[in-house]
Amino acid sequence: MLKFTDIKQVYFLGIGGIGMSALARYFSSQGIPVSGYDRTPTELTLALEHEGINVHYEDNPLLLPAGLEISNSLIVYTPAVPATHQELNTLLNSGFSIHKRAEVLAIICNNRRTIAVAGTHGKTSVSTMTAHILKSSEVGCSAFMGGISKNYQTNLLLDSTGSDWIVAEADEFDRSFLQLRPELAVITSMDADHLDIYGSHEKVIESFQIFASQIKDGGSLVLKKGLPVGFMPEAKYKSYTYSITETADFCAENIKLKDGYYQFDLRTPKLLIEKLVLNYPGLLNVENSVAASALALLAGVSAEDIRIALASYSGVKRRFDIQLNNGTFVLIDDYAHHPKELRATIQSVRDLYCGRTITGIFQPHLFSRTKDFAEGFAKSLDLLDEVVLLDIYPARELPMAGVSSEIIFKLMRNKNKILCSKSELTKLAGTLKPGVVIMMGAGDIDTLVEPVKVQLLKYANL
């Protein structure tokens, strides 16, 4: 890869991805010209354009930026770009080296004091919380986050205080996180996922174990208690556990729900921090805040700074993101796309809105994930009072024979269920029962949130 000092231009294939856009913003902040391609305009790509980054939406080699040279141009791509992509093949045939996002992120992070947040779910919330705590303290940090922080309205934080800490979401997809060599790391979960990449749950676990083994000498691992990382006698880092349900090195005690938010005590190996208030809903976020607080304490943040930061944390877009609460309807937008994530989100809603009708609108993500976890999805969706099931969002995949949302639908025991296309959803939303509506999925279901919200508001005003 080029030395950073030699880079005169950066081009991104798939610039609209959450991780790719953070890198684009980083290079742009360094005064380097940045441009890129993505399949369709989104709120994020439009934001990049507003920031002066040129983005186009047609796969056309003639639209590649002028002045690209092998000697000084960095080309970054996401595996979501198909092998048949014309621009990709033009660049390859012209002799350019093409680099994955993870490689580039590692080059930025591995010479810094990196805090890496890994896990099959929970990593975006934990990385954003961790970054907010450090950023709010004297310790400071830069951060590459896997979502748009509502505190900062961005997925990239740049430090101006001289801090050497950098927080990075460590993505297990395509084994990307194995590029990182962190000083501090957390593993939030190790569920079976991305089996199209790994082949088996055992290989997923093995990959997380390798990730843990790459922590720098003298560093620390914070592990959700019970995860099968195993004791590594040769490890040169310290290992800690965290939990909200049992005794651990870092654990939440005396958890109380008050006015929709949680108050708890945080027990650590050295002290007890009493009556922390997380100004963000959901019991799953209490667990996330324990992990984030553990990392922050290990990085040198004070107990009082953690107290202030948790109280001011505003969350992440598309993570338990309340879009409407008008007495008739509560509308929540959530990124949940794995059976365990669905279960955790639905249970948090049950706790918070006890006694109200809960309707879930779910868009499955990937044919392979739907095929692998159809039974798990059905069981999780059965926890809802009513279910609206959308078509599968294919993302990087081609259709698979016999795989559709209907395989989940048929396994569900819930009788209050509807199969619905995206084009029909807005009209259907006007007939939903008053209560809580959760829109869940990692595809483009977020583009339907506003139309659904409009329909719910119309219903409430009748």
Q: What is the 3-state secondary structure (H, E, C) of the chain?
A: CCCHHHCCEEEEECCCCHHHHHHHHHHHHCCCCEEEECCCCCHHHHHHHHCCCEEECCCCHHHCCCCCCCCCEEEEECCCCCCCCHHHHHHHHCCCCEEEHHHHHHHHHCCCEEEEEECCCCHHHHHHHHHHHHHHCCCCCEEEEEEEECCCCEEEECCCCCCCEEEEEECCHHHHHHHCCCCEEEECCCCCCCHHHHCCHHHHHHHHHHHHHCCCCCCEEEEECCCCCCCCCCCCCEEEEEECCCCCCEEEEEEEEECCEEEEEEECCCCEEEEEEECCCCHHHHHHHHHHHHHHHHCCCCHHHHHHHHHHCCCECCECEEEEECCCEEEEEECCCCHHHHHHHHHHHHHHCCCCCEEEEECCECHHHHHHHHHHHHHHHCCCCEEEECCCECCCCCCCCCCCCHHHHHHCCCCCEEECCHHHHHHHHCCCCCEEEEEECCCCHHHHHHHHHHHHHHHHCC
Is the predicted pLDDT of residue 82 greater than 90, yes or no?
Answer: no
Q: What is the mean pLDDT of residues 137-143?
A: 97
Predicted local confidence at residue 4, as pLDDT: 75
Nearest Cα neighbor of 353 from 425, 229, 436 is: 436
* Mean model confidence pLDDT for the chain: 93
**Token digits for 206?**
């093995």
Predicted local confidence at residue 270, as pLDDT: 92
Is the predicted pLDDT of residue 461 greater than 80, yes or no?
Answer: no
Greater confidence, 5 or 334? 334
> Which fold is adopted by the domain 321-460?
Protein-Tyrosine Phosphatase; Chain A (3.90.190)
Q: What is the mean pLDDT of residues 346-375?
A: 93
Span 203-252, pLDDT tens digits = 989 999 999 999 999 999 999 999 988 656 567 899 999 999 999 999 99
| CATH of span 110-312 | 3.40.1190.10
Span 90-128, pLDDT tens digits = 999 999 999 999 999 999 999 999 999 999 888 999 999
Is the predicted pLDDT of residue 172 greater than 90, yes or no?
Answer: no
Q: What is the b/e burial string over 137-174, where b = at least 16 CB atoms within 10 angstroms of the residue's CB?
A: bebbbbbbbbbbbbbbebbbbebeeebebbbbbbbbbb
Q: What is the mean pLDDT of residues 275-296?
A: 94
Question: Residue 169: pLDDT band by 50, 70, 90 thresholds?
Answer: very high
| Structural domain spans, the chain | 4-99, 110-312, 321-460
Greater confidence, 82 or 45? 45
Question: Residue 147: pLDDT band by 50, 70, 90 thresholds?
Answer: very high
Is the predicted pLDDT of residue 194 greater than 90, yes or no?
Answer: no
pTM, two decimal places = 0.88
Question: Residue 29: pLDDT band by 50, 70, 90 thresholds?
Answer: very high
Give the range among 8-17, 124-133, 233-242 with minimum mean pLDDT: 233-242
Predicted local confidence at residue 462, as pLDDT: 53
Nearest Cα neighbor of 373 from 349, 342, 333, 351 is: 342
Nearest Cα neighbor of 360 from 342, 373, 344, 341 is: 342
327, 456 in Cβ contact below 8 A? no
| CATH of span 4-99 | 3.40.50.720
Predicted local confidence at residue 231, as pLDDT: 55
Predicted local confidence at residue 192, as pLDDT: 73
Span 357-367, pLDDT tens digits = 999 999 999 99
**Token digits for 170?**
């460590």
Question: Residue 186: pLDDT band by 50, 70, 90 thresholds?
Answer: very high
Question: Residue 22: pLDDT band by 50, 70, 90 thresholds?
Answer: very high
| Percentage of residues in the chain having pLDDT higher than 70 | 98
Spatial strand order of the sheet with 329-334 comes to: 321-325, 329-334, 435-440, 358-362, 386-389, 417-419
